[in-house]
Structure 1
Amino acid sequence: MTVKGLTKKIHATDHYENFPVASFIIPKKLKKHFISVYNFARLADDIADEGEIESGERIRLLQLFDDVLNNKKSSLSNADNVSMTERKIITTANSAKHHLAELGVSNKSLSKLLIAFRHDANFTVFESWQKVFEYCENSANPIGRILLGIFGITNSQKNQQNQLDILYLKSDAICTGLQIVNFAQDAAEDDKRGRPTFPKEIWPQKLQGMQKYRFSTLSNAEKANLIENMVLIGRQKLSEGSDLPKLLMNRDLDHSFRCALEISLIIECGLHICEKITANPNIVWSKPPRLKLLNLPKLFFSALLNVILKG
């Protein structure tokens, strides 16, 4: 198998992520559902903050996703005067909606993602950690809940609501942790774009009153302190959700082992990036650490041991 082929076993998409996306662990019959949702999130994310598009146009295009989800716009005839982007949005949103409906999973989580993307399109800095967590409730946590839904864990199981609430709480913690670690990892890129994701409450005082923020001008010690703060909170959140695989192993699911292993691997990948950044916080300003192919066997077996020993 080629390097590209092996990488595809972990990431079923061509876009880099800090965690496996529909890896070989997920049963083939379920993988298509997650890839459809991932494509929805990836396209909406790109529209929200990539390329040279006015914020008003970004918001309009994001609304089109919502219109499709809410059946206000479900198809386009060839006569419609629409762009290729609009056609792609309608096709992608319809696909994600139908895949979730096939599983009996609500598309409300997709709508929550769009709330976060609207924030990205009209970016404002986070005033506090609480604002960061509120953003993560829409930007990251829905993906974890959708993954659980694809494996058969949904809100329709009302007789198990207390257990579901615990699973969702753990999943949310993991996803929030991954988002915050990603913020730390992308600090330099976000700074260049004038979109810092550090909460204002941890900013150095000299930046507080500035209209244009340039974190790259800070001292190495100040920059390292910001990154260490982000990684600390990210790691704490990952730890809060670390027993989710064990809880999943104790549930009567068709693929409980695979679900637990996929999530365990996601956690291991997040912690690996944490370790890389902690060893040299300022590396993110020059060459942010990335998951490498040679890391994957060790991370996989660590995830496997965690599931076997704790499950």
Structure 2
Amino acid sequence: MPCDADLSWVGPDVTSGKGAGDENFPVGTLLISRRNRGHVMAYYHFARCIDDIADDPTLPPDQKAARLSAMNAILRGADAPIGRHDAATAETLHRHFKKLDLPYEVASDLIKAFQQDVTKSRYANWAELVDYCSFSANPVGRFLLLLHGESADILPLSDALCTALQVINHLQDVSTDLKRLDRCYLPQDFLKQEGAEVGDVALSHSKPGLRRVFDRMLDEVDSLNDQAATLPPLIRNRRMRIYTAIIVALSRHLARRLRREDPVAGRVKLSLWDVVRSLGTASRCLI
């Protein structure tokens, strides 16, 4: 994709200070083999960087779009500007991909999603949101499974898990996304049908109509998690099988918390007990 050289690197590097330890789910886990850990971390740093570009409130939209296009070009082998950490993440991932027999799309599709974030801030219905997740989240699971030599046949189950995780994250950040970026991932038809409005997420607590929208979305998440629960036994790599089982369990626990708690009143997070129980659930994969 061509990029506007006059805009691509205008302004500062906006990569946040967030690291793998700040994410909802384990990234640089020891369950990833040492042989693959470097590939995973290179992928994570690239994904974190392009997400930060799309979400930065200080960059104008045209600069975001140009910089994301430039990152895509570097990922596929274009020269990177010297001295920029953001561009270096794409250059580093390109070197990793040259060693791997993996499709570049499992990384570049993320850029499509973040390019969409620059221009699209509302979603008409659930289908539109799922389509967004197919670019913003599903490539991550596909990357991990293909990296570990898993069959392409199981990728749709991975897509279900990644879409569930993405929707959960949208619900966790529902107020922040609107206040900070004027972005709302709640299906507009759900809001209309339940007598709610986008502005309701900026209040101190959820109104009944908005709560019903959340619950409808969580119904869909539960269905996706049910599909995802069938994934771990199909994974041949033992470490990845256990890792995936942990993520499925964490996804279920967080969905339950979002049922009980109000994401408008405060960010809903996993508890230590949720993590312990998830590890217990995943331990069955050792049998």
Give the TM interval when normalised to the shorter protein: 0.7 to 0.9
CA contact (8 A) 1:74 1:90 kept: no
Query: Matched residues in 2 for 1:49 and 1:277: separation?
Result: 23
Query: Matched residues in 1 for 2:74 and 2:65: separation?
Result: 15
1:220 equivalent among 207, 213, 235: 207
Matched length:
267
Tell me which residue corresponds to 1:103.
100
Q: Secondary structure, in 3 states, of the residue corresponding to 1:203?
A: helix
Tell me whether 1:195 sits opposite 2:201 in the alignment.
no
Q: 1:16 to 1:234 in 2, by over 3 A?
A: farther
Q: How far 1:18 moved relative to its partner?
A: 2.2
1:232 equivalent among 212, 219, 223: 219
Tell me which residue corresponds to 2:160.
173
Tell me whether 1:28 sits opposite 2:14 in the alignment.
no
- Aligned ranges for residues 35-54 of structure 1 at < 5 Å? 35-54=41-60
Instruction: Name stretches of at least 5 consecutive residues in structure 2 with no aligned partner.
Output: 1-17
Q: Secondary structure, in 3 states, of the residue corresponding to 1:198?
A: coil
CA contact (8 A) 1:37 1:96 kept: yes
Q: Could you give the per-residue CA deviations for residues 38-65 of structure 1, whole angstroms, max 9, x where no partner exists?
A: 1101100000012311000000110111
Identical-residue share of aligned pairs (%): 25
Query: 2:99 is aligned with what amino acid?
Result: E
Q: How far 1:15 moved relative to its partner?
A: 4.8
Q: Which runs of 4+ in 1 moved over 3 A?
A: 12-15, 204-208, 212-219, 292-295
The two structures, once aligned, show a CA RMSD in angstroms of: 2.2
TM-score after normalising by structure 1: 0.79
CA contact (8 A) 1:180 1:233 kept: no
Q: Could you give the per-residue CA deviations for residues 117-137 of structure 1, whole angstroms, max 9, x where no partner exists?
A: 001122331111111111011
1:17 equivalent among 8, 16, 23: 23
- Aligned ranges for residues 203-218 of structure 1 at < 5 Å? 203-204=191-192, 213-217=199-203
Instruction: Name stretches of at least 5 consecutive residues in structure 1 with no aligned partner.
Output: 1-11, 78-83, 154-162, 250-255
Q: Which of 1 and 2 has greater Rg?
A: 1
Query: Matched residues in 2 for 1:240 and 1:201: separation?
Result: 25
TM-score after normalising by structure 2: 0.86
Query: Matched residues in 2 for 1:186 and 1:298: separation?
Result: 24
Tell me which residue corresponds to 1:276.
257
Q: Could you give the per-residue CA deviations for residues 72-108 of structure 1, whole angstroms, max 9, x where no partner exists?
A: x22335xxxxxx5xx2232100111222332221211
